[in-house]
Amino acid sequence: MFPRAFKEGLLILLVFMIFGYFIYEKLEQKRIAAMGTVKEQPIQEITNSPSLQRDDYHIYPVARYAVRAKVLSSERYRVGRMSDLSPLDLALGWGPMSRNDVIEKLDIRQSNRWYYYRWEGTPPIDPVDIIRSSANTHLIFAGDSVKSKLLKVRAGEIVNLKGYLVNVRHRDGWTWNTSLTREDSGAGSCELMWVEEAVIEN
């Protein structure tokens, strides 16, 4: 049995830890809410870069890609061959889809490698602009440093990603291809990105 003083000290420590976490979360929410809009558009340049190899997957870069965007949502995946390559999807927004007043009026979520959004009443912006200014991006980490950064990213933060849009082929014939336009929606419209550099802006 632990002495009473020890139990009381442990309880006080627990209360302080909970209070500290609450304060930290409030400060983080305030920091994220203060982040502004992203004016830049994604940059894409067709490339003939050599293929990459990861286990039994051949990865073919088809375009150099750089995107600075606000994280609208993130979703981890742990089951299935897609998660072997890409354990994280980020729904990213730029231009009007990085404005907090727009995001707050949208219900945004991700599931089964899809990115969904809905609104009540009148859409906050033209739905065409939602498509053009946001994307669900499947991320393949080029290294552990990129992985450790992006697995910690939170909705509302601004990320700066550089790498390639890629197509993937497994030795058994299975394929997974990237979109090469920001104008599409539905099946096949997601970006599949090999991420070489990642910065989470403060």
Same domain, 17 and 106: no
**CATH number, domain with residue 66:** 2.40.50.140
- Determine the structural domain holding residue 182 and report its residue range: 43-200
Residues 156 and 180 in one domain: yes
The tens digit of pLDDT for each residue in 109-136 reads: 999 999 999 999 999 999 999 999 999 9
pLDDT at 6: 58
CA angle 35–91–113, rounded 5-degree value: 160
- For residues 2 and 5, what is the distance between their CA atoms, to the nearest angstrom? 8
Q: How sure is the predictor about 95, in pLDDT bands with cuts at 50, 70 and 90?
A: very high
Which of 66, 58, 56, 34 has its CA nearest to residue 168?
58
- Determine if the pTM surpasses 0.85: no
Cα-to-chain-centroid distance, residue 6: 44
Mean pLDDT of the chain: 88
Number of structural domains (the chain) is 2
Whether residue 196 sits in one domain with residue 98: yes
49 and 21 together in one domain: no
